[in-house]
Amino acid sequence: MREEKQEKIITAALQLFEQQGYHATKVSDIVREAGVAQGTFYLYFKSKEDLFRGIVESCLQEIIETMEKGVPELCGETEIYRMIEGTLRVFAHNKTIFRIIYKHGIASSELRDITAEFYRRMMVIVKSELVRLRSYPEYNDEELEIVAYSKIGMVEAAAYQWFVVKNSGPEVVEKIARVLVNMRLGCPQEGEAAE
């Protein structure tokens, strides 16, 4: 019973932020949707921005935790596949929060620090994977970061197009994952394209 109202406010806010974005969502909309009084909002949240940041932060925290748990002990092509597929599934499963963030701006004053921290932690996860798998033994730390951020961007871009823009469901995850795993750069290497 305790915090029941807080939960209702968060649920309502998530829904409205996703539909209309942060700026277009009024506190009065949220409380109406949540079925509580205007003043009640400020019993649980310092401000509208406080609620917003709280929501985004905890959602991204949860995602990071999922990612951290999900990567252990992968090696070889199949494992790469599982990692990419897993990441895509996380995106697909967390459409709401990603929609909210893409709608509001990852570099917005309200989210900049939160998203920076999120991407940094994602990068760390990927980087340690790269290190563990010795994919780029000759690279220094900064070069590994470049690789890590780029790989994240690769998956993220596909996820954005299919889950946010085209609004596809998890059924496309496998198809995308398969393509991403087989991706190479530039021109056909000898024999490949000709095959």
Partner DNA sequence: AATGAATGAGCGTTCATTCAT
Partner DNA sequence: TATGAATGAACGCTCATTCAT
**Chosen from DNA, a second copy, none, partner binding at 28 (C-beta under 5 to 8 Å by type):** DNA
- Of the candidate spans 31-39, 76-84, 115-123, 170-178, the one that interacts with DNA by CB under 7 A turns out to be 31-39
- Nearest residue (CB) to a second copy, 72 versus 186: 186
Report CA-CA distances (Å) from 79 to 72, 86, 134, 172. 10, 10, 14, 19
Nearer to DNA, 57 or 145 (CB): 57
**Which residues from 34-73 bind DNA, rule CB under 7 A?**
36-43, 47-49
Structure tokens at 48: 């509208």
**Is the four-CA dihedral 14, 18, 21, 24 of positive or negative sign?**
negative
Q: Would you say 33 and 15 are in contact if contact means Cβ atoms under 8 Å apart?
A: yes
Of these, 51, 158, 163, 173, which contacts a second copy (CB under 8 A)? Answer: 158
Residue 131: how many other CB atoms lie within 10 Å: 15
Q: Which residues bind DNA (CB under 7 A)?
A: 4-5, 25-28, 36-43, 47-49
